[in-house]
Chain A
Amino acid sequence: MIDHLPILPILIPMLGGLMMLLPPFIGVENYQYRRVASILLILLQVACSIWLILTIIQSGALVYAVGDWQPPFGIILYADQLSAMLIALTSVLGLGITLYSFAGTDREGKYFHPLVQFQLLGIYGAFLTNDLFNLFVFFEVLLIASYTLLIHGGGKQKTAANVHYVILNLIGSSLFLIALGTLYGTTGTLNITDMSLRITNLSESQAIVAQAGGSLLLVVFGLKAAMLPLHFWLPRTYAATSAPVAALFAIMTKVGVYCIFRVYTVIFGEQAGELANMVQPWVWPLAIASIVLGSIGALASPNLRTLAGNLVIISVGTLLISFALRTPEATAAGMLYLVHSTLITGALFLIADMIGQQRGKAFDRFVVARKIKQQSLLGILFFVAALTVAGLPPFSGFLGKLVILQAATDSLEKIWIWSIVLISSLITIIALSRAGTTLFWRNTPNRDTVDSLGFSKWQLCGAGLLLLASPTIVIFGASIIQYTNEAAAQLHNVQSVIEIMGLQEKTQ
C-alpha cells in the first residue's frame, strides 16, 4: 500500500467519481446518497494527502513509475514536499466547497459531485506528474470538468462566459501541444527531469528551437494562471459561475503558477546553460503589470464577485514576482502566499454569495439595496476575509506578504517589490472598504427583511472552514515556513531529483 501512495490522490477521486455515476447514486431523487459519498471521498482525500506529507517528510520525495515502466521512458509520478502541500491545499478547498454546495447548489444539476471529483482528479494529477505530455492530459481532464462545472445550473451569463472560456482554453491546448512537439523534437524526451539533463547538451540551433518551445509553454501556463495579457477571461468567468465552483477555481490559476515554477526551475533553471532562466526577463514586468492592472480592476469592480476575481489576478501577480526573484527563499515565500491566497479568495467568493442571496435583486452589486438579514455574522466574516486579503495583521495575508517582501535582496528589486506590493495592498483595502460600506451600511429605509432567506448551516460551515485557515496559518506559522523552505530547497535542488530517478548513469 505504501508503495502505491503517490497514485492514491489520483485513484480516489477517479474511482469515486465514476462510482457516483452508477446506481444507487444516480438519479435526481438520490442526491442524499451522492452527498454522503462525496463527503466521504473528500475526507479520504484529505487524510491521504496528510499521509503523503508525513511520508515525504520522513523518507524524502517519492517516485512512482506507472505500470512499472522505468524513467525516462515511462510516465513518472513524482511527489515532493511542494506537490504534497498543494494536494493537501486542494483537498481542503474541495472539502470547503463540497460542504458549501450542500446548501443547494449541488441540486441544480445531477452531476455536480462527480464533476467536482473529476476536477480534483485533474488538479491532483497536474501537481503529481513528472511528464510533460501527462501534464497536458491532466490539464485536459481538469479543463473538461471545469467547462461543465462552469455552466452548472445554466443561465445566460454562464453560457456567454463559458463560450469564451472554452474557446480560449482550446486554443491554449493547441499551443501546449505545439510546445510539447517542439521540445520533444529537440530534446527527445518528455520526462521533466530527463529534459533538464538533455537541455544542456543541445547544439546552438537546437537550443533556439527549444527556447521557442519553452517560451510557448509560458504562454500556455500564463493563460491558465491569468498572467497579464492573458487575464481578460478571468473576472467575467469567475463572476458568472456559481459560488462553490468559483471558489474551486481559485486553485486553477495556481495550477498554472505551479507549472511555471516547476518547468522553469527544473528544465530551464540555473543549470540549463544557454537557456538558464530564459523566461525571467519576461515574467518580471508581466508580474508587476498584473498587480497594477488587477488593482485598477479591483477599484473599478461593480460587484463583489468581480472584485474577488481581480484580487485573484493581484495574487497571481504577487506569486509571479516571487517566481521572478529565482531564489529558493523567494520560492518558499511564494508557496506560503499561495496557500493563504487560494483559501482566502475561495472563502471570499463563498461570502459574496452568502451576502448576495440576502440582498434581493441587487445581489452583490455595489448599489443601495435592502438590509442584510444576518448582518452581524456576515459582517464579521466579510471583515475577517477583507483584512486577510489586504494583508493586515494578525491574519495570514500579513505573514504571506511579509515573507515575500523579505525575499527581495537586491536594492532595485526591493524598491520595485516593496512599492508595488504595498501600494496594491492599500488599493485592496480601499476597494474592500468601499465594498463593505455599500453592502452593509447603505440600505433602503423601511424595507422588510423577513422574506429574504438566511444562509444555511452548510454555507456557514464551508465558508468558515476556508476562513479558519487564515488564523491556522498564523498560529502554526513557524512550522509552515520551515516546511515551505524545505519544499523550495527540494524544488531548486534539481541534481537530487536526477539522482532519485537514477537518470544520471543512463545518459552517460
Chain B
Amino acid sequence: METLYVVCVGIMTFCGVFLCLRGRTFSVVVGLTMLSYAVNLFLFSSGRLNLNGAAILGMSDSYADPLPQALVLTAIVIGFAMIAFVVILSIRARADLGNDLVDGRDPPDTNKLIKPNRGKV
C-alpha cells in the first residue's frame, strides 16, 4: 500500500510541477491544482498509513493519528479558495492583457534575436 501511495503522490507532484512550468495560465492553474492535491495526500500520510484504525479513543485496538486529517481538511479548504482566486485572476488577466500567457506578453522571438534584420541592405 505504501508503495502505491508513494508512487501516486510522486507522479502527481511531477505532473503538477511540469504544468506549473508552462507558459500559459490555464496549464499553470491545472498544475497548481494537481500540486495541491499531491500536497494534501502527502500531508495525510505524515501520520503514517494504517488500515482499520479509529481516530477516536476507545473505538478499536489500533489508532490512526487524527491530527493529519484535521490538517488536510484545513489545507483543502485553503487550497480550494486559493485555486478559485487564481482562476478568477487568470480570467481577469486574459481580459486585461489580451492573452493568456503568464508573462502577459509573447516570448521574444529567438530567430530575430540571433539574426537581426537591421542593417540588411
List residues of B (68-121) whose CB comes within 8 Å of A's CBs. Answer: 68, 71, 74-75, 78-79, 81-83, 85-86, 89-90, 92-93, 96-97, 102-104
Q: What residue of chain B has the Cβ atom nearest to residue A155's Cβ?
A: B96
CB-based contact B75/A166 at 8 Å: no
Pair A171/B35 contact, Cβ less than 8 Å: yes
Q: Which chain A residue shows the least CB distance to B104?
A: A160
Q: A163-B25, A163-B89, A171-B20 are in contact. Are A133 and B74 (CB under 8 A)?
A: yes
Chain B interface residue count: which class? 35 or more
Knowing that A164-B102, A184-B71 are A-B contacts, what are 13 other residue pairs whose CB atoms are under 8 Å apart, sorted by A's residue number? A140-B78, A156-B104, A160-B93, A160-B104, A167-B32, A170-B36, A171-B20, A177-B75, A178-B42, A178-B43, A182-B46, A184-B46, A185-B45
Q: Are B92 and A159 in contact (CB under 8 A)?
A: yes
Please measure, in the bound complex, the distance between the C-alpha atom of A159 and the C-alpha atom of B90, giving whole angstroms.
9
**Binary contact track B41-85/A, C-beta < 8 Å → 1, others 0:** 011011110000000000000000001100100110011011101
- If over half of A's interface residues share one DSSP class (helix, strand or loop), that class is named, otherwise mixed; here it is helix
Minimal beta-carbon separation of B75 from chain A (angstroms): 6
Shortest beta-carbon distance from B34 to chain A in Å: 10
- Measured in the bound complex, the distance between the Cα atoms of B25 and A414 in whole Å is 47
Q: How many residues of A contact B (CB 8 A)?
A: 28
Which of A137, A167, A184 counts the most B-chain CB atoms under 10 A from its CB?
Answer: A167
The residues in B between 6 and 49 inclusive whose CB is less than 8 angstroms from any CB of A are 16, 20, 25, 28, 32, 35-36, 38-40, 42-43, 45-48
Partner of A147, one of B36, B85, B96, B102: B85
A394 CB–B CB distance under 8 Å: no
A181 within 8 A of B: yes
State the Cβ distance, B77 to closest chain A Cβ, in Å. Answer: 10
Contact A137 B85 (CB under 8 A): no
Chain B residues positioned under 8 Å from A280 (CB to CB): none
Given the interface pairs A144-B81, A156-B96, the reply to whether A178 lies near B39 with Cβ below 8 Å is yes
A346 to chain B, nearest CB (A): 26
Q: List 7 A-B contacts (CB under 8 A).
A: A156-B96, A167-B32, A167-B102, A171-B32, A178-B39, A181-B45, A185-B47
